[in-house]
A and B are shown apart, each in its own frame.
Chain A
Amino acid sequence: MKVTRENIIWESHQKHVPTIDDEGGKLWGCFRSCFLQSAAPYTEGVAYKILKNDLGIDLREAAGHTSCGAIGYHGDVTTIETQMVVAARNFAVAHEELGVDNLFSFCVTSFANYTEMIHLWEEEPELREYTAKILKETTGREFWIPRVSGNRPSVVHASDVFYANRHKLAQKAKYSLKGIKAVDHIGCHYGKIFPGEAMGGVEFPQVLVGLLEAFGAEIVDYPERRHCCGMGFRQCAFPENRDYTASSTYKKLASLKQAHPDCNLILTNCPGCTVFLDAEQGTIKEVLEEEFNVSVLDYAQLTGLMLGYDPFKDCGLNAKAVEVEPLLDKIGIPYDKSKTAEQRRRPF
């Protein structure tokens, strides 16, 4: 099995995300994620610290921007028209109030949602007119479309910004993933809706692999890598549907363990995958008495660990179903061993 996963058409899947050395690459506006703020707030916390402190980015966000509402869209309580105008409002707020041109979101579904609306405006001029009109009528704001990637109408995801600056981050790393097997799991909404907007495409995506490689990890592959984690919006939201989620996670991890029993790290860029690929391992352990012990970290958590941020206080690895300490030991990241696992996680 080849592990480099190079593909001759990767070149056609490169999007141009400004690095901090490029013009405008140090000034970004960002959109928060409702899923992260509810189920894993610390990931945005450590992402913020890295972007500001380690990359020196002037990161701006408006108090008045809202969720893109896409969980409601894929959860069937809003219309496509709603999504367009809410997206246009958030763009207008960022552009007018913060003076930023480059925008990213912390959530892959927001990224896909904004991308979908931008595509609709490009393809259907009357929807663009509709959006501008309703935006003006309801908010008085002016319609504006960001052009982040290669000067075409687009926004990017936070993990794209990490990817673009991966070599800078790797230079600052205190630890290395040398000898650590790892595999990526991109969020479905990062690549499957608009493969052309995914760094490296959707089949052999590069966005997380590039980051892992920069930190020295050995990339592996497994047959169910591209299968969805099973988050599934209403499937994970309502406990009675969650067998969908658990079975998807089981399928993936069983496949990974069969291929690489010694791979204990999955890197993610989607809030849903980060939470459920981990949490459902707890369910599987309880119900099937099977343990996979694969740590699921998101790009910011892993980068935080590599840069020397505290695994618990900064990276928020307190509430993982899978204990992270074995992975930390393997990498050689220190933590307070005078405390018990519980004490490390429960400061009060």
Chain B
Amino acid sequence: MTLFETVLGDSDNYFSIFNTAIIFIYMSKLVDELKQDIQYQHGMNACLNCGICTAVCPAAEVYDYSPREVMNICQTEDEEWLIDLLKSDKIWFCGQCYSCKPRCPRGNSTADVILALRRLSVRHGYFAESEKGRQQLFAKRVFGENMLKRGYTLTAENITPEHFPELGENWEYYFEHMKEMREWWDVPMDKENSAGSHRIIPEKDMDELRKIYKATGAMELMEAVEKGMEKKLGSKKEVEKFWDNWVETADSRNYEMKH
């Protein structure tokens, strides 16, 4: 039973509960950790549950997702509800479009709160408990490692016809003739010591970028993804199987979860 249910279930005990040590048991490090996040502080004031965010949320139209619900759970500061949220698919449904932000009459920003929740979920390994959360391995290995290797979150090689079939046959043609097509378009790729699209960023600049990623906690966050996945799937080998399956089939659900 969560604190919230306890309180709701027995209103006579409301004040006595607060007067006892129970409150300290429930005052978790997780909630405190969340409240330390500057993005949470900026994104979460007080929610009056008006629904203005959910009304225009693209994710709320296709998923069992509601930004208002997320704000509400955070607002309770209930540890168990928070853990359930961090383990669920919900926090990964947000498309980060920020449609919720300009409308909120209390100046909240659920999209920002979501980012704080996701980082918390990754740091504590909860992300690996949900199907959508486990996609974080791909995010880490594509966006994250691309940045460290090339200085870009995405590279031309990522937009494969297999993973982006909607781009059609002309894209397949382009993909087969990538270098020539880019030159034809006057946007040659992988040039060294030169400005331009998809250039090779000089090594001294890449070094600076990697130092920044290390000093500011990005490396740690990325490592937490690998660790969390290893813990959930049982071994590094299974993590590689999970990855290989996705690269080959473009669908993480084809990997059979053992538990």
Contacts and interface: CB of A to CB of B under 8 A. Distances in A.
Interface of A: 32, 34-39, 41-42, 44-45, 49, 60-67, 69-82, 84-86, 89, 93, 112, 120, 124, 127, 134-135, 137-139, 141, 188-189, 191-193, 195, 202, 226-228, 230-235, 237-244, 246-248, 251, 275, 279-280, 282-283, 313-314, 316, 318-321, 345-348
A142 to B, nearest CB: 13
Contact of A77 (B59, B102, B144): B144
29 contacts: A34-B152, A38-B198, A41-B197, A41-B198, A65-B201, A65-B205, A72-B143, A72-B153, A74-B115, A75-B139, A76-B221, A78-B221, A79-B119, A84-B216, A85-B212, A134-B216, A135-B212, A233-B96, A234-B92, A238-B135, A239-B251, A240-B253, A244-B95, A247-B62, A280-B166, A313-B184, A320-B170, A345-B173, A347-B181
A67 to B, nearest CB: 4
A129 to B, nearest CB: 14
A264 B56 CA distance: 25
Contacts of B24: none
Nearest to B173: A346
A232 B170 contact: no
Contacts of A193: 98, 101
A78 B213 contact: yes
B174 A76 contact: no
Given A238-B252, A247-B62, A282 B168 contact: yes
Contacts of A283: 166
Contacts of A80: 38-39, 115
A37 B221 contact: no
B218 A79 contact: yes
Interface string B152-180: 11111011000111111011011001001
Interface of B: 38-39, 56, 58-59, 61-63, 92, 95-99, 101-102, 115, 118-119, 122, 132, 135-136, 138-140, 142-144, 146-147, 151-156, 158-159, 163-168, 170-171, 173-174, 177, 180-182, 184-187, 189, 193-199, 201-202, 204-206, 208-209, 211-213, 215-218, 221-222, 225, 250-253
A63 B26 CA distance: 52
A239 B165 CA distance: 9
B96 A74 contact: yes
Contact of A45 (B38, B197, B213): B197
A69 B251 CA distance: 25
B187 A77 contact: no
Nearest to A41: B187
B-side interface mostly: helix
Contact of B167 (A69, A226, A319): A319
A316 B194 CA distance: 22
Contacts of B155: 34, 37-38
Nearest to B220: A79
B164 A34 contact: no
Given A45-B187, A81-B216, A319-B167, A34 B132 contact: no
A239 B101 contact: no
Contacts of B204: 64
B215 A66 contact: no
A303 B159 CA distance: 26
A37 B152 contact: yes
A226 B155 CA distance: 29
B152 A66 contact: yes
B216 A127 contact: no
Nearest to A98: B195
Nearest to B178: A41
B135 A188 contact: no
Given A69-B153, A226-B56, A240-B135, 17 more contacts: A38-B154, A39-B167, A60-B195, A66-B152, A72-B143, A72-B147, A77-B225, A81-B217, A82-B213, A124-B38, A235-B59, A241-B132, A279-B168, A282-B168, A318-B181, A319-B174, A347-B184
B139 A192 contact: no
A188 B102 CA distance: 11
B175 to A, nearest CB: 9
Contacts of B165: 239
Nearest to B155: A38
A321 B166 contact: yes
Contacts of A135: 212
Given A45-B185, A346-B170, A38 B158 contact: yes
Contacts of B97: 188-189, 192, 228, 231-232
A73 B208 CA distance: 18
Contacts of A282: 166-168
A41 B185 contact: yes
A76 B115 contact: yes
